[in-house]
Amino acid sequence: MNASPDPTSIDTDAGHRVYTSWSLPLYDLVVHGFSNRFLWNCRTATLQAWFDRHVTDRHLDIGVGTGFFLDRSQRLNSASQITLLDANQNCLNASSKRIARLQPTTVQANLAQPFPSTLRRFRSASLMYVLHCLPGEKSFRGEVIHRVAATLEPGGILFGATILGEPCPKGRLGRRVMASYNRRGIFGNQNDSLDSLQKALSDELRAVEIVTEGSVAMFAGSVS
């Protein structure tokens, strides 16, 4: 019998250690300025619109990077309660500074570990460009979605976007970059498909909606 690995034993380091104090300032340009359009064939504006459609005034943002979508969102203001969660302190520092006007709370935590019990009763939680950074075990994605869903109040929305490994990106450069990121552990999405995403989400959420543009799947669903 194939037992699922214990999520706490999965090595997630490569997926978050890449965001150093010198690489993070380049993140917006490389990812949202270039890669979305030219590698993954998804417009950054589409991702921002997805974020804005689902974010609420009591929001848990997981895998914050530079705080790109939070900063640009028209839906948030000083009355919004924003919590930022990330394994990487550089990301927490950069994004909390960027959206200081929203006075966010920060939590350093790894998705492979149980969350602090104080993370509860959010109206929305996002995983924007996070799932594809995690090691590829399907059961691990399910465990992460379960963990995030548990932070939401009844009716709360879990949403996000992820780059799928199947089918491969259309362009040759996209395929080469994705293969290289998977070899280096920066991505773990080689076996991520629409079907596997749908299954992982449907196990935890109701009214699951998935929209694709290029290699990117944008998803949302609510907890009972």
Ligand X SMILES: C[S@@+](CC[C@H](N)C(=O)[O-])C[C@H]1O[C@@H](n2cnc3c(N)ncnc32)[C@H](O)[C@@H]1O
- Report if residue 15 touches ligand X, rule: CB under 6 A: yes
Residue among 97, 51, 59 at smallest CA distance from 80: 59
- Report if residue 24 touches ligand X, rule: CB under 6 A: no
Min separation Cβ 218 and ligand X, Å: 11
Residue among 189, 198, 191 at smallest CA distance from 218: 198
Which residue's CB is nearer to ligand X, number 36 or number 196? 36
HSE at residue 79, side-chain half, CA atoms within 13 A, is 4
Which residue's CB is nearer to ligand X, number 171 or number 185? 185
- Report if residue 187 touches ligand X, rule: CB under 6 A: no
Out of 68, 140, 159, 219, the residue judged to bind ligand X by CB under 6 A: 68
Position of minimal CB gap to ligand X: 65
Residue 93 in contact with residue 67, Cβ under 8 Å? no
Peptide bond into 154 cis (omega under 30): no
- Report if residue 112 touches ligand X, rule: CB under 6 A: yes
- Tell me whether strands 206-213 and 58-62 are parallel, antiparallel or unpaired: unpaired
Binding positions for ligand X, rule: CB under 6 A: 12, 15-16, 19, 63-65, 68, 86-88, 91, 110-112, 128-130, 133-134
